[in-house]
Chains A and B, each alone.
Chain A
Amino acid sequence: MRDILRTVRRRLTHDDPSTDGGTITEQRPSPGATQRVRDRLGDRFGSDFVESLPFWLPTFLLMGLFVYGAIIWNLLISLTDYQGFVQPDYTNLDLEMYAQAFTDSSVVSASVNTFLLLIAFTLATLAVGLGLAILVDRHIRFENTFRTIYLLPMSLSFVVTAQFWLWMYNFNNGVVNILLGVVGLGPVDWLGNQSVVLWAVVFALMWQFSGYAMVVYLAGLRAIPTEHYEAAKVDGASTLKMYWRVIVPQLKGSTISASVVLMVFALKAFDFLYSLVSGYRPPAGSDILATKMVREAYSNLNWAYGSAIAIMLFAMALSIIGPYLVYQFRRGNL
């Protein structure tokens, strides 16, 4: 360690004007107006503030423009009547689009579907992921192989997995109906029946992301000291009880971070639904706000209406992320 420090120090103090000529002039005190401003900023924000600006400012400018600027702009567009090929008129702002959205039955049912998808998908994926993590954590052989295969679907695009599941759910020749036929059930028109299609989508998404939940839980399980397992064993708790009473409560952090990420994936399920049908209109009964928004804006050219739906979706996301950020802040992670 000391040796490394010494070499690093030597490399740093070694003057090399060809690669780093700028620092010498920068370090020299120049009692000008800029220096005074720098000192004031340094007092206010901390010694490295001005010097660190070039590092983080580009990222914040990009984010300020494309993320936060765009959201504010989107809010503004949602207050106009912008549609079709004309230019938006920013002088006449009202909440008409929101009033229209709240009375539009297709927006209401899309909101309900979004909510159902979000909750069902997150809970199911967390449960399966936790189960898998517990199985994988039991000192098994070929652990890496199992883990790699369980996580594999997550490396695939929604566009790709939609193709696989379109075939799995095929009415006549799909694997799902053939397997159900073996035990005397079905066939079910998974993507055509309005009352089952959403659950079919939830199952496909769960297939794709349970490996992710497993990886997060596995990291959480590995962080629990082995004494906790042993103490529970000594107390005579059964394995099931031990996990339920001792281990699962300690996985709260993993559960929170995994569910936030999963919910956000569920809000992005647009790619999957679009690819299932190669179009803007997903199978009846599985329309969510994400698909409704893109359809209104890019297919029907109701830009302002689409923006209003997008703001509703954003509010939904914010109600998940907001508490998460507060939680992280309280734990000192920000």
Chain B
Amino acid sequence: MADAEEDASALSSVDLSRVALYGALLAVMAAILTPIEAGLVTSFKTSPGGVSSTLPFAPPTPEFFTLSKWSAALNALGRGMVNSALYAIPATVISAFLGSLAAYGLTQAQWKPRYKAPLLALVVAGIFIPYQAVLVPLSRFWAVYAPLDEWLSFLWALGINDDYVGILELLITHVAYGVPICTVLFRSYYKNMSIEMVESARLDGASLRRVYRRIILPLSTPMFAVVLIYQFTQIWNDLLFALVLVSTESSPAAPVTLILAGLGQSQEGVDFPLRMAGAFIAALPTLAVYVMFGEEFAEGVAS
């Protein structure tokens, strides 16, 4: 009898702790989602009427409901979405590929670790550089020492707006600052890879290039997924380089983050529904990538 009672109390205490556990998990989930949810419902409200007379996290009532903010935001940001994609996608692919090559040369190729270590330290440190420390030289470099807009004058003669030189500058810049993290991600993968195959191939006289193309590259597919997703998110989300290299949001070459940063700002104050709609549009590609490849994204940030 006493045993049964003890069992029952043990069971209920277990249940209680499980209930508390799930309660805590759900509370955190609510805290994480609240800013996003409030933004979403607000983007469908009229302003200033809708935002001031409804609760920020409540859906709009029919009288305050509007889709006009979304269409306005789409109008303002559409050009930026195309511009961002124009440099984010190539820069992602190029930096991932360069990172894979460099990581291979630094891990699977046999040369003395004594000399590899300082090079690796330079790569790792390269990830953590605050970009402010290179900004002024970077803008000097593009303006004075590598004046792409002069070199590409034949393109502008074809009728392409010469502001698009900013896109090309952003592409190269993002590749340069993206390769360190790509190299480190690939390196951690190649380091843990079994070297049996590579060694036996090398003994049979295969060159490093052949080993890379026939063995390493095909086996790197899962890591390419991780690196491409991580890099794309980073490049798409960046504002600083866009601000420095393209500078004004009215430029035809302005990336989406640059336009969003100044959206809906006027003398009367901030148009919140417009900004929220804009935020969701700008976040759409990275959100889509995250929803589809959440696992790979988690892997990328964890390493």
Contacts and interface: CB of A to CB of B under 8 A. Distances in A.
Given A27-B205, A173-B56, A270 B240 contact: yes
B32 A56 contact: no
Interface stretch (B61-69, B158-166, B285-293): B285-293
B237 A156 contact: yes
A149 to B, nearest CB: 5
Contact of B110 (A46, A316, A329): A46
A166 B205 CA distance: 62
Contacts of B297: 151, 155
Contacts of A69: 137
B121 A325 contact: yes
B55 interface: yes
Interface stretch (A192-200, A207-215, A228-236, A244-252): A207-215
A275 B239 contact: yes
B115 A215 contact: no
Q: Please report whether the interface of chain B is mostly helix, strand, loop or mixed according to DSSP.
A: helix
Interface string B15-33: 0000001101100110111
Interface stretch (B2-10, B149-157, B220-228, B255-263): B255-263
A51 B134 contact: no
Given A11-B214, A166-B275, A167-B56, A268 B130 contact: yes
B119 A60 contact: yes
Nearest to B118: A334
B260 A163 contact: yes
A165 B237 CA distance: 17
A216 B302 contact: yes
Interface residues of B, number: 110
A23 B207 contact: yes
A207 B32 contact: yes
Contacts of A166: 270, 272, 275
Contact of B128 (A140, A215, A310, A321): A321
Q: Please report whether the interface of chain A is mostly helix, strand, loop or mixed according to DSSP.
A: helix
B132 A155 contact: no
A27 B299 CA distance: 40
Nearest to B282: A160
Q: How large is the interface on A (under 10, 10 to 19, 20 to 34, 35 or more residues)?
A: 35 or more
A333 B74 CA distance: 47
A297 B135 contact: yes
Interface string B267-303: 0001010011011101100110110001001100110
B125 A325 contact: yes
| 3 nearest A-B residue pairs (beta carbon) | A46-B111, A55-B105, A157-B237
Interface of A: 4-5, 8-9, 11-13, 20, 22-23, 26-27, 45-49, 51-56, 58-60, 62-63, 65-71, 73-74, 77, 88, 132, 135-136, 138, 140, 144, 146-168, 170, 172-175, 178, 207, 211-212, 215-216, 219, 260, 264, 267-268, 270-271, 274-275, 278, 289-290, 293-294, 297-298, 303, 306-307, 309-311, 313-314, 316-317, 320-321, 325, 328-329, 334
Interface of B: 21-22, 24-25, 28-29, 31-36, 38-39, 42, 51-52, 55-57, 98-99, 101-102, 104-106, 109-112, 115-117, 119-138, 140-141, 173, 175-177, 179-180, 183, 196-197, 200-201, 204-212, 214-215, 233, 236-240, 243-244, 247, 257, 260-262, 265, 270, 272, 275-276, 278-280, 282-283, 286-287, 289-290, 294, 297-298, 301-302
